[in-house]
Amino acid sequence: MLHFYGPNPKENKDFGRIVNEQHTERLAQMIDRDKVIIGGDYDIKNRYIAPTVLDRVSWDDAVMADEIFGPILPVLEFDNLETMIKAINRQSKPLALYLFTTNKAVEKKIIDNISYGGGCINDAFIQVGNPHLPFGGVGASGIGAYHGRRSFETFSHSKSILNRKFDLFPDMIYPPSDEKKLSLIRKFLR
């Protein structure tokens, strides 16, 4: 990070700020000073949160209670992959999942066994900038996706209308049913 923003990211004009003071305060409250291994500094008035890594985090910590949407990275440790998958699946579905691995079997197992909105393998957040990939959540993280055609579909409502002509509608759909009517319906639905 030193390479991108220098020794003091707070003074670097290229380091993004939080959208407003309220959100900055919300993020600052997620930072447990006893668990900070990198960063942890913040300035509410200037909407600044230092890139922060928290270690020894548990599911009960404030940082794990809600989606973060800020430069805070909580680290949870697991003894094995199965335990991790089960622990994640007991929580609300995440908006995104970022996996860092060179192991294709681990990659497949994670993708196949955890539900999430979207994500990256060996990167973080870059998928949001790709207009060809839908971005959106599942469950509590939201429903629907946007980017490109997905934006049009998500923010549009296709209204379906069937205009039945009384004189052209066959009696085959009304009771009583018999094998002849069922046969005609099957042919019609193919």
pLDDT 10s digit of each residue in the chain, 190 long?
A: 667 888 888 999 889 999 999 999 999 999 999 999 999 999 999 999 999 999 999 999 999 998 899 999 999 999 999 999 999 999 988 878 888 889 999 999 999 999 888 888 888 767 777 777 766 666 655 666 656 676 667 666 555 555 555 565 566 666 767 888 788 777 767 7
Per-residue pLDDT of 93-126, as tens digits, reads 887 888 888 999 999 999 999 988 888 888 876 7
What's the whole-model pTM score? 0.69
pLDDT mean across residues, the chain: 83
Q: Does the residue 39 lie in any domain? A: yes
- Distance, in Å, from the CA atom of 76 to the CA atom of 88, rounded to the nearest integer, reads 11
- 174 phi/psi in degrees, rounded to 5: -100, 150
Q: Does the residue 133 lie in any domain? A: no
Distance of CA 131 to the CA centre of its chain: 16
* Secondary structure class of 98 (helix, strand, coil): strand
**Domain housing 54:** 1-77
Residue that is written with structure tokens 């971005």 in the block: 135
Please give the tally of structural domains in the chain.
Answer: 1
The CATH number that applies at residue 1 is 3.40.309.10
Q: Say how many Å lie between the first and final Cα of the chain, rounded.
A: 59
Q: Does the residue 109 lie in any domain? A: no
Residue-wise over 72-97: b if at least 16 C-beta within 10 A, else e? bbbeeeeeeeeebbeebeeeebbbbb
Let me know: does 138 contact 115? Beta carbons within 8 Å. Answer: yes
Looking at residue 144, what DSSP letter applies? -
> At what angle are helices 81-89 and 104-113 packed, to 10 degrees?
20
